[in-house]
Amino acid sequence: MKIGFIGLGNMGAPMAANLAKAGHEVTGFDTAQVDIPGVSMAASAAEAATGAEVVITMLPNGEILRKVAAEIIPAMAPGAVFLDCSTVDVDSARAVAAEAQAAGLSALDAPVSGGVGGAEAGTLTFMVGGDAAGFETAKPLFETMGRKAVHCGPSGNGQAAKICNNMILGATMIVTCEAFALADKLGLDRQAMFDVVSTSSGQSWSMNTYCPAPGVGPTSPADNAYQPGFAADLMLKDLRLAMQAAETADADTPIGQAACTLYARFVEDEDGAGRDFSAMLPRFERRGRT
């Protein structure tokens, strides 16, 4: 396929590289100077979108997505697919989809799970909202960039799935870190703790796959001084999007709100900025019951 790819940062660059490696004709644009093997660079977002069958965006927030959409939608050919892989607020995703559809385009919101490692390895999970025809067109691209794509329903539902998933993830990581810190104070060996919980009713992805305790379980950022696989800053962003959506939908989310408050304190007032979201464990290790 002929693909335009706008937003070539830590996630977008390896995704675009994997598409080019698979034989697609990829034209990219980013506000920063980047050089990606196999990807031709355009002078503007509109130029990258011109003539593309699918235009992929990977952008920081809903405000920037709306601005980029206003630039590229007029440049896209009717029938093309606007595939947004950013994680943004549901309202922005739905507004951009409506603009794209009004211009005769297929629109998909398809935020990802899997982090930079998943983008590099081509093992991302895509949560996709939008029309079924667009999903079928983009399916070969999902298969190249990831290992799973789930069609979640109409526009905005991809973002809804992502923020609900990450609200669970943020809360379970916090309580996993709390439990390890409690185990330490009770004299319970961390390996014994992992061996019990990872095979019992307390198991979770945070424990079994991404264990926050160094030297315990599969290799994770905890074994690399908490260098981010998924930064605490990004978890805070996603939790705030979840709380924004909960307010709009009049949903009661007290545990999600507590997780959001804790990550805000960790990132903005403590030492969490630029660290992995599992670095909550050393935070709790240092703290008493205050």
- Non-local CB neighbours of 191 within 8 Å, separated by 6+ positions: 216
* Torsion region of 79: left, alpha or beta (phi above 0 gives left; psi -120 to 50 gives alpha): left
Q: Are 4 and 27 in contact (CB under 8 A)?
A: yes
User: Catalytic site residues?
Assistant: 162
Strand partners of residue 124 = 146
- Non-local CB neighbours of 139 within 8 Å, separated by 6+ positions: 149
C-alpha closest to that of 263 among 286, 287, 232, 285 = 232
C-alpha closest to that of 72 among 90, 84, 61, 86 = 84
Give the separation between CA 92 and CA 63, rounded to whole angstroms.
8
Q: Are 116 and 10 in contact (CB under 8 A)?
A: yes
